[in-house]
Structure 1
Amino acid sequence: MNKYHDIEVIINNKRYTLSGYESEEYLQKIASYINNKHAEFRNKDAYKFLDSELKNILMQINIADDYFKTTNKLKEIETESDAKSKEIFDLKHELISARTKLEAAEREVDELKSELHEAQKNIVRLETELGDNDK
């Protein structure tokens, strides 16, 4: 089990203590993400004139939007991954089938070569017999 961590972070110029079983680096990363969101909003003129409750609601909506967009993107990637896995499976199956057909064709070629060789020997034997009979 992971160790429980308490870490002090600064979010929007205020000191907070974050606690959890996640690593300190992860908790710091969360604080950094939220700070970046605050900085993103501070750069917008209209945001400066809103009351703190509306600022917080907009921040929550923006974070929820990021979450749902990321979740949807993950689902798209999983769907693409599943499709590519199926395509790879189908290609492997096709490859195995082609190899099996190739091996069967190679065996048939070997058999036909053997038959040809036997037929050529038989022709030579018959020609020799025919030549002996003509004499």
Structure 2
Amino acid sequence: MKELNDVEVIINNKRYTLCGYESDAYLQMVASYINDKYDLFKQQDSYARLETDIKNTLMQINIADDYFKEKEKVRTLEDELEAKNNELFDIKHEVISLQTKLDELKKELDKEKEDSIEAQKQIVKLETELKEREHKK
């Protein structure tokens, strides 16, 4: 079982202790993400005039928006992956089908070669018989 980590981070110029089973680096990355969001909001003049509750609500809405957009990207990528897997399956099936057909054609070619060799032998035999009959006459 993973060990619980306590990591001190600074979010919006305040010190917090985050606890989780994730690595220290991951928890620092989460704090950095939140700080980046705060920095984006602070660039807007109107943000400074808002009440703290509204600021927090806007931050939550913004993070939730990011989450749902990323979730939609994941769904889209999963759909694309499934389509590619289906396409790959179809291609593999076609390759197997073509390989089977190729094997059958090779067998047919080998049979035709054998028949050709037998026909050539028959021609030589008949030519020999013809020559022998001509010499006897």
Quick check: TM above 0.5? yes
Per the TM alignment, residue 114 of structure 1 is displaced from its structure 2 partner at its CA by 0.8
Q: What is the alpha-carbon distance in structure 2 between the residues aligned to residue 54 and residue 102 of structure 1?
A: 71
Q: Give a deviation string over 1:103-135, Cα, whole Å, max 9, x none.
A: 110111011011001101101110111121122
2-structure distance, mates of 1:119, 1:127: 12
2:60 is aligned to 60
Number of residue pairs matched by the alignment: 135
Q: How many Å separate the matches in 2 of 1:132 and 1:40?
A: 106
Query: Post-superposition shift, 1:45?
Result: 1.7
* TM-score, normalization by structure 2: 0.95
**Pairing of 1:2-81 with structure 2 (within 5 A):** 2-81=2-81
SS in 1 for 2:112: helix
More divergent stretch after superposition (19-28 vs 33-42): 19-28
d(CA) in 1 for partners of 2:44, 2:128 = 104
What amino acid maps onto 1:107 in structure 2? K
5+ unaligned residues in a row in structure 2: which ranges? Answer: none
Q: Identity percentage over the alignment? A: 55
Give unmatched runs, 5+ long, in structure 1. none
Name 1:121's counterpart in structure 2: 121
TM-score, structure 1 length as denominator?
0.97
